[in-house]
Chains A and B, each alone.
Chain A
């Protein structure tokens, strides 16, 4: 049984349109996404603006509630949990946020930040919680002296480590990492990536790793989900990334500037990412796809398996990429 399963998740945000707007308009953030994560694995979620990746991450933590679909964690439906059972559930899935400067309460000491969760869930007593906090700091490579300090006394990379320690403080089974290294310098990114790998082994964690950075995602993940405008384009093993069978994934790969000197002579994907207020018909990628055909505008492609653990939502995958 997978640790986490999501089925046909949908999330839309209503927006008002002026004084005499006709009817309700919605931002269609997530439009029917399904996937599962096995315990101990890392699932990478890749996408650009409007892909719905952050919204998905938040729904898993019940920071947002889905409009439709199911979230099943350890065999239990969590989308409808309430009060005590919801509170208990919150220990099991935690999050590491993107911006180290706004994700830590500037008025709380590190000790307060790291003991807050356990205190709410009445785990241990004051001194055992502090002891655990010191251990967590060491696990993330910081000295226990940090306990008495405030977030502003630390660099971005160090703050991010505190954020990781906080996520670990309730010993969760799954951590949603929402762009945890995007705001960090390259050399600090590498430290953080290694740290996340080490902690996964040490604490027996499962990760959902959300990022727009393909290099980092492909490095850390076992499986990758490629999202576009709230829909899955492709689902594939990380080591098959170069064997992609979807034009969008291919475009993402080709857009990554590689540290190899010389001019690239590939086609640049044209056009803008469409607005999520009005999703394109048929395949949502059709407005930018270099291979678009009539069927793409009419029919929504269904995710189908081309290879073990490799699924693609494209009518023309075989034609474009061969077998």
Chain B
């Protein structure tokens, strides 16, 4: 059963130098209880997609068209008053940099309680008790004392746990995690990923995980979307994506990762770099970097084609 459906989402930035289409006709559905990964490099549109779902974008960004269906309503048509009841309550988000995402002048306790008090009919005392419980669940030792700590008094890993606690405070149905471990040390990353998976399982939540790290995708996701220059280029269940990636970009990404413990010759790289979104070519946006490019690739952007077993690929040459 689909808990969220994004249909033909287009999000643009109105810049002096032109209109930049960060998300270009992106459509996908998220099943209840699944972990969906959105993977891609800088500028592919993954973060803007997530921010569009929660309508957290401000000028010069604009959601130009599309529908986002949640609980049988289109989030993009909702009046802001109703959207306020969704954010942090039904759909919550964890951001990449815990230091800049947390408010430095409020205690962590206050920040966790803020959502609870806004969305639920409970007293401050009850909220405080629930907050202590949450801190314990996210693995903060000495929870009661830490309620009155400020973000700067905590390490990166602890701040990320606070962000998770804030996101969980109202027991949302969907959690969107945007590069939740990128800014953390390796051993702390492993702890945070483990924690996120644990809370998802325990609360039967749906998780949309945005990352550039294919290793994280392999370890945590059920299904993956690969984005490039504003479009989805491949979609597949995770085991299938790694076993037989079909899009040349996906294959290039997988092949360019150095493997632990293996001495290899020069890495296989994807030549060139991502196209300028203000100056996109006609036809396939990956064409000028693609090892399989053919004349037809430059004429028209291919459609996403169904390759069976839940795998969809936007390429005419596979």
Contact = CB atoms under 8 A, between A and B. Distances in A.
A binds B: yes
Contacts of A213: 186
A89 B87 CA distance: 58
Contact of B238 (A197, A261, A268): A261
Interface string B188-200: 1111011000000
Interface stretch (B52-60, B117-125, B260-268): B260-268
B87 to A, nearest CB: 29
A212 interface: yes
B78 interface: no
Contacts of B212: 185-186
A241 B263 contact: no
Interface in A166-221: 185-191, 193-194, 197-198, 212-216, 218-219
Nearest to A141: B271
A240 to B, nearest CB: 9
Given A190-B267, A197-B266, A259-B242, A157 B273 contact: yes
A261 B242 contact: yes
A320 interface: no
A258 B239 contact: no
A190 B268 contact: yes
B186 A252 contact: yes
Contacts of A238: 263
A253 interface: yes
A155 interface: yes
A190 B216 CA distance: 18
A142 interface: no
A49 B158 CA distance: 14
A294 interface: no
Nearest to A260: B218
B259 interface: yes
Contacts of A264: 219
Interface string A123-167: 000000000000000000000000000000001111000000000
Q: Max chain B CB contacts within 10 Å: which of A185, A197, A238, A253?
A: A185
Contact of B157 (A157, A215, A272): A272
Contacts of B274: 185
Contacts of B268: 190
Contacts of A215: 257-260
Nearest to B154: A272
A273 interface: yes
A193 B190 CA distance: 25
Contact of A239 (B41, B190, B263, B267): B263
Contacts of A99: none
A155 B277 CA distance: 13
Contacts of B158: 272
Contacts of B253: 186-187
A254 B190 CA distance: 9
A257 interface: yes
Contacts of B191: 268-270
B218 A256 contact: no
Nearest to A194: B266
Interface in B207-229: 212-220
Contacts of B238: 261
A256 B256 contact: no
A273 B218 CA distance: 26
Q: Which of A219, A241, A252, A269 has the most CB of B within 10 A?
A: A219
Contacts of A49: 156, 185
Interface string A230-274: 000000001101100000000111111111111110001110110
A48 interface: yes
A261 B187 CA distance: 20
B215 A190 contact: no
Nearest to A155: B273
Contact of B269 (A194, A214, A252, A263): A194
A173 to B, nearest CB: 23
A257 B267 contact: no
Nearest to A254: B190
Contact of B215 (A216, A239, A258): A258
Contacts of A252: 186-187
B77 interface: no
Interface string B259-299: 11101101111110110000000000000000000000000
A256 B156 CA distance: 18
A185 B214 CA distance: 12
B42 interface: yes
B214 to A, nearest CB: 5
Contacts of B51: none
A258 B187 contact: no
Nearest to A215: B258
5 contacts: A190-B258, A215-B259, A219-B264, A259-B257, A261-B243
Given A186-B214, A190-B268, 12 more contacts: A186-B256, A193-B258, A215-B257, A215-B259, A218-B260, A251-B187, A253-B260, A255-B189, A255-B190, A256-B186, A259-B214, A259-B215
Interface of A: 48-49, 155-158, 185-191, 193-194, 197-198, 212-216, 218-219, 238-239, 241-242, 251-264, 268-270, 272-273
Interface of B: 41-42, 155-158, 185-191, 193-194, 212-220, 238-239, 242-243, 252-254, 256-261, 263-264, 266-271, 273-274
Q: Which 3 pairs from chain A and chain B are nearest by CB? A: A257-B215, A190-B256, A219-B258
